[in-house]
Structure 1
Amino acid sequence: MPPPPADPTGDPGFSLPKHPAFQRFWSTRILSSLSFQMLAVAMGWHIYALTHSAFALGLVGLAQFLPMFVLTLVVGHVADRYDRRRIAAICQSLESVAALLFAFGTFGGWISAPVIYVLAACVGAARAFESPAVASLLPGVVPRGQLPKATAWATSANQSAQIAGPALGGLLYGIGPGAAYLACTLSFAAAAASVWGSPLQARLASRAPVTLESVFSGIAFIRKEPVILGALSLDLFAVLFGGATALLPVFARDILHTGPLGLGLLRSGTAIGALAGTIWLAHFPLRNRPGAAMFGGVIAFGAATVVFGLSHHFFVSLFALMVLGASDTISVVVRLSLVQLRTPDEMLGRVSAVNSLFIGTSNQLGEFESGVTAGWWGAQPAVLVGGIATIAVALLWMRFFPELKRTRSLGREEALAPSS
């Protein structure tokens, strides 16, 4: 296996995307994310076509979140004790099987809302194991000095998939739901094949006996790190309240009056803005006051959510989603870099699992929250209230976590700025 890059100094001639191990890692991320985004569009439009219920849309997010919540402490230990490449490949294979069952159910005419919920829960369980395993691979690919830049490029893989995936999923769903599900099947299988034989380093911790203390050690570590805890909880509550993506089928069909392709474009809009943000951050990393930049990004995220909630015009809504995605990128890159740079490698799986739970809570549970509030008040009022709540959370967190606001660097080696 070729060694990982050896220049942590940020030399201008050093290019992460050209390194073979990083290329394999990037392709695995983008294929898996592409599959999941296509599947999310297909599931969302399918369940709304069957039920015409915003609450039913929210239940899809809840079905994916519950397995992640239940398995959080288990998946972290698995990622720290076993080959993370094999874990990722097995999970992606299971996701491929779930997508194939969606296709069979569609062609066979036995697909229904309960079946969609069950298969969504299976996908959620597989992703609960996959996410910390894949996230923990990155420090084995690049030197720690290059992790912020590598994190931005790795995030761009997800954002690229979130641009192409929803649009492709919407286009294929327009041809037929079965076509979308078959495409997901093939893409998940390709991701599994890519990571199974990859040259990425397998960083395994010692096989010490599992104890109650070791099971909860990831949570205990985060509680002792106010900067990490502040970043994770800020991102959690911001996306939990401000997440409008779960209601996009409602906006696309009933407010903006567009079809499955329009839904795919709306979902891609967020990713277009996010990709632009990640490319910018990859070339110009956050070197000074990343915590303050994160707070600014969350406030912009909330403001863009408010604009989206007020809009009745497709292109205004699409632009608002682009701004939303670009601002969210700052939060994502800061959060992931803090976890990667401030966590010992032997605990990275467990800490990444807790991080994945926070992400799942904000995304999947946020979808459920959006569905419930939209069922009570309507889609537009629910999004407006969520955007305002996001801004309020950012202002409160500045007081609750001053360490995050004052932090000067992403790494542990530099001290926090003194209080003003």
Structure 2
Amino acid sequence: MEPDLQSQHSPFASVRIKEFRYFITQRFFFIMAMRMTATLVWWKMYLLTKDPLLVSLVALSEAIPAISLALYSGHVVDKSDKRTLLLKTIVLYLLCVTALLFITQQSVEATMGKRFVQYGIYLIIFLTGITRSFSGPTSSSIMAQLVPKNILPNAVTWSSSTWLSASVLGHGSAGLLIAYAGYTPSFLIIITYLIIATVSVWLIKPKPILHVNTDQKTWESVKEGLKYVFKTKELLGALTLDMFAVLFGGAVAMIPFFAGEILHVGPIGFGWLNAAADIGSITSIIILTFYPLRRKQGLILLYVVAGFGLCIITFGLSQFYLLSFIALLASGALDGISVVVRGTILQLKTPDNMRGRVSSVNSMFINSSNEIGSFESGIAAKLMGIVPSVIFGGTMTLLVVLAMWFKAPTLRKFEY
């Protein structure tokens, strides 16, 4: 690491480290590629099926392997050189995107039929779920080997900011590309981004494996990580709050239907609705980079998740594009604060030799909330209708916050 670091209070402390710059470059292009892929796939499945349940099966296809392998992947991450493992996951994701490039060709749909394309997408997304089960914990774990511990909170903020910047550009640009270029050029651009991410990781030096008991059996190793999370109440409370809030409050799976059938804004409007929450998140994270939270972070976490629920209810009720965009923008701004607080708790409360396993539990919670939440939205929309399902989700988020207020007093009082 470079020796001329500024104090931990400098907003630029972590980005002065060369390898951390390589890391956030990788993170930017990899996440942008993932977000563009997700936007392209969601819109393609909407056009193919026009069925909220069938569209939400995309999320379930990714969630099943991501959640099933999460605990095992943490064990693997702790036993591996994290730089090499991250490199492998990006290359595997690149192969999956190449398969999507092939299956979304008009000639394939004309020859093999819509059903073939639909199930082919489910299969490829299932494979990306396997990849994500390893890439998430690896990416989170390697940060502690790139920067000193005293500036980890700053590194978390920069990493989150990078993630959200890429997410905004990925969602927004994918909507424009669908409208004006089509699927093939879009996937070729995604492949280019993944190549840049691969080169960025390759420039990072291999990292040593930290204090891991190599004789420990896999299940014993996995149980050790789980036990640590469940006995660390602040960490468990933050993860649980995030999981249930997004599980019920996530409206991502329904955005294509709001864009196409309620707001009538087409693929470009869909792309920007998809990006709205991320625009809000990055705005709040940029502010937090220069003006970090100094006190009562746990209490603030509860407040912002409650605000997130109210924003989702507003989005569900809205029939105007601008109001819908603002509601999602505000939900993202509040979620951005949540991301920073939760990410900082994760980094500060996790021992170096358990980062892979604890990060895998975190990934399992996130995948549960995001992907299973999207599937839950599809089922709820099928049963209740699209608008009532979103309002129901926002209301459940408020109830989750209320429950955590009384059930997790240590989280409410937590500061760092």
With the length of structure 2 as denominator, give the TM-score of the two structures.
0.94
Whether the aligned pair in 2 keeps the contact of 1:85 and 1:202 (CA below 8 Å) is no
* Superposed displacement of residue 279, structure 1: 0.6
* Residue number in structure 2 paired with 1:198: 204
Residues 236-264 of structure 1, C-alpha deviations (whole Å, 9 max, x = no match): 00000000011111111011101111111
2:81–2:206 Cα contact (<8 Å) kept: no
The residue identity in structure 2 corresponding to 1:34 is M
Gaps of 5+ in 2: none
Q: Does 1:180 align with 2:172?
A: no
- CA distance in 2: counterparts of 1:317 and 1:162, whole angstroms: 19
What are the superposed Cα offsets for residues 179-235 of structure 1, whole Å, 9 maximum, x if unpaired? 222222222222122112224754544352132321211111011111110000000
Which residue of 379, 388, 392 corresponds with 1:381? 388
Q: 1:4 to 1:205 in 2, by over 3 A?
A: farther
Q: 1:27 aligns with which of 13, 19, 25?
A: 25
Distance 2:354 2:266 in 1: 45
Could you tell me whether the CA contact under 8 Å between 2:81 and 2:207 is conserved in 1? no
**Structure 1: runs of 5 or more not aligned:** 410-420
State the partner residue of 2:324.
317
Taking the aligned partners of 1:4 and 1:201, their CA distance within structure 2 comes to 18
Q: For residue 274 of structure 1, what is the aligned residue in structure 2?
A: 281
Deviation at 1:23, TM superposition (A): 1.1
- Count of paired positions: 407
TM-align CA RMSD: 1.6
Question: 1:249 is matched by which residue type in structure 2?
Answer: P
Q: From 99, 102, 113, give the equivalent of 1:101.
A: 99
Aligned match of 2:399: 392
Distance change in 2, residues 1:26/1:11 (3 Å): closer
Q: Which amino acid aligns with 1:54?
A: P
CA contact (8 A) 1:218 1:350 kept: yes
Q: Aligned runs of 1:296-315 on 2, under 5 Å?
A: 296-315=303-322
Change (3 A) 1:186 1:9: closer
**2:261 is equivalent to residue 240 of structure 1:** no
The aligned amino acid for 1:398 is W
Query: Contact 1:80/1:349 (CA < 8 Å) preserved in 2?
Result: yes
| Pairs within 5 Å for 1:142-157 | 142-157=147-162
Tell me the distance in 2 between the aligned counterparts of 1:233 and 1:355: 10
Identity %: 36
Give the distance between the partners of 1:121 and 1:51, measured in 2 at CA.
19
Partner of 1:3 in structure 2?
A: 2
Residue range with higher mean Cα deviation, 14-23 or 60-69: 14-23
Shift of 1:331: 1.4
- 1:405 is matched with 412
Q: Check 1:154–1:133 CA distance in 2 against 1; reply closer, same or farther (3 A cut).
A: same
| Residue deviations 1:352-401 (CA, integer Å, cap 9, x gap) | 00000000001011110011101111111111010011011001101110
Higher mean alpha-carbon deviation, 172-181 vs 201-210, is at: 201-210
